[in-house]
Chains A and B, each alone.
Chain A
């Protein structure tokens, strides 16, 4: 579980220290204060070589040659300015250092770079220098091209050294080397997705195989009583969808049932996939009706507890805060598992966190005081 996050020169944060994360942590604050940036920072630290790491680039305009600048405080990357993302996770400290290198010698990377110490689940394309070169558009090994150099450390031991090539190269990761570290599974979810991700169908399929799907289905049915059953359908390797039995002559894709059901199911199916990890969620519950929000929070908190998963989510919603408090007030829920952290910008360079534990949040909500 993540206990502490420190940031330096990362996006809106010149410096930030954020502690007191709990099993279920909500982040609030005004627009542009940096809530989502905290999620992406944790994701960068935890995702490492996960293929989904590439989503970080996709979150920005992929066609923009300046997307990498947005990660540096003040939108001004330089060789001297280093981003540091520090994390204390279950008592173990680690960090990612990100540097902008305006002229990486690609030839030297290709000659000396890839080694055979990659994690087993590493995407094969990264192992082959020629494929890397072709894939990233590095046609000439003599070119000096801009890149972000990202280095991961656990304690003082360097675990990974990765170059994220920037335009004019085709953006992508070039792995110089990577050693296995403490597993840090994570997922970063955004609201209002068009389709249920393939990963959700794969996750449900896995749960069906091990006889653990019924619990997820029961949580979904409690929230959406018209859904009677869920069936994963894998159409081709890695692809798939989830069909919902809603009492019609034939089941319908869950994506057709509306945002709430899709979001809830995606969350519930992501948690088992990242057992022992951290689920990072932007605008949690954005598509869920207020009347079922407490039940929704209770369900995902219960599933997170079962799979030893930490949830860190952003919100602007007073209703979600109330729902979270109500959910954690129920028998069997641990009050200490709920934390709300509001971020306040006190100057262009300073953002201060204010932590509300369960009791503090309850007093604010019972008096109808503004805490967002």
Chain B
């Protein structure tokens, strides 16, 4: 039987889900930072209720550097404010801006709001940016989304409507990226696993901002 997950590293990165966990794990490997423990919070709505529990876990007192990665969704500034509030509620010092590391705190804390601390969006947008313009499947995925736009209701479906109802995907960025992943020679079903399978070259400039943030926080 697997043991429950304990905090064993002094460098801790909180991610929203398994995709983020696997993607960040691969990115940290790319920049040769091996001693960071990533915890999957289990969803964007879980961050705020989970943080009091995480700070109570054995081992958290030893954490000296803490990273938090969240999707901006519709509002990067609003998401940052929500994270800052959660940190304060748990006795942690919140940095004023995302993408920078608060060095004079214990633990040192950095927040990154996907995709780039400015735009609305999510990790899928960052990964989309990492797909070469020359990749023909990029255009195919865009055409697929265009096709959906022509054939489906563009407006949001009513609350509680079926997942198969004829409405345009409510998470268009995810749909577009998954269309791309489905078109790979060896199709990938999960973004994180795709990153681990080297679908993206994480040394590209599209990932430079996040790379540099992780280096500043953890190296």
Contact = CB atoms under 8 A, between A and B. Distances in A.
Interface of A: 318, 342, 344, 346, 352, 354-356, 359-360, 363-364, 366-372
Contacts of B59: 370
Contact of A318 (B4, B46, B54): B4
Given A318-B4, A356-B53, A367-B5, A372 B61 contact: no
13 contacts: A318-B4, A354-B56, A356-B56, A360-B52, A363-B49, A363-B50, A363-B53, A364-B57, A367-B5, A368-B5, A369-B5, A370-B58, A371-B58
B61 A371 contact: no
Contacts of A363: 46, 49-50, 53
Contacts of A364: 53, 56-57
Q: DSSP majority for the A interface?
A: mixed
B88 to A, nearest CB: 18
Interface of B: 2-7, 39-40, 42, 46, 49-50, 52-54, 56-59, 61
Contacts of B39: 369
Contacts of B56: 342, 354-356, 360, 364, 371
Contacts, number: 53
Contacts of B6: 369-370
Contacts of A368: 2, 4-5
A371 B7 CA distance: 10
A369 B52 contact: no
A366 B3 CA distance: 14
Contacts of A367: 5, 40, 42, 50, 53
A322 B168 CA distance: 42
Nearest to B55: A354
Most buried by A among B39, B49, B54, B57: B57
A346 B59 CA distance: 11
Nearest to B7: A370
Contact of B53 (A346, A360, A372): A360
A73 B49 CA distance: 38
A356 B59 CA distance: 15
Contacts of A371: 4, 56-58
Question: Which 7 interchain pairs have the tightest Cβ spacing?
Answer: A370-B6, A370-B4, A363-B53, A354-B56, A360-B53, A364-B53, A368-B4
Nearest to B5: A369
A363 B5 CA distance: 13
B5 A370 contact: yes
A27 to B, nearest CB: 14
A299 to B, nearest CB: 26
B5 A344 contact: no
A110 to B, nearest CB: 52
A369 B53 contact: yes
B86 to A, nearest CB: 13
A355 B42 CA distance: 22
Contacts of A372: 4, 58
A364 B59 CA distance: 14
Contacts of B7: 370
A370 B61 CA distance: 14
Contacts of B57: 364, 369-371
Nearest to B3: A370
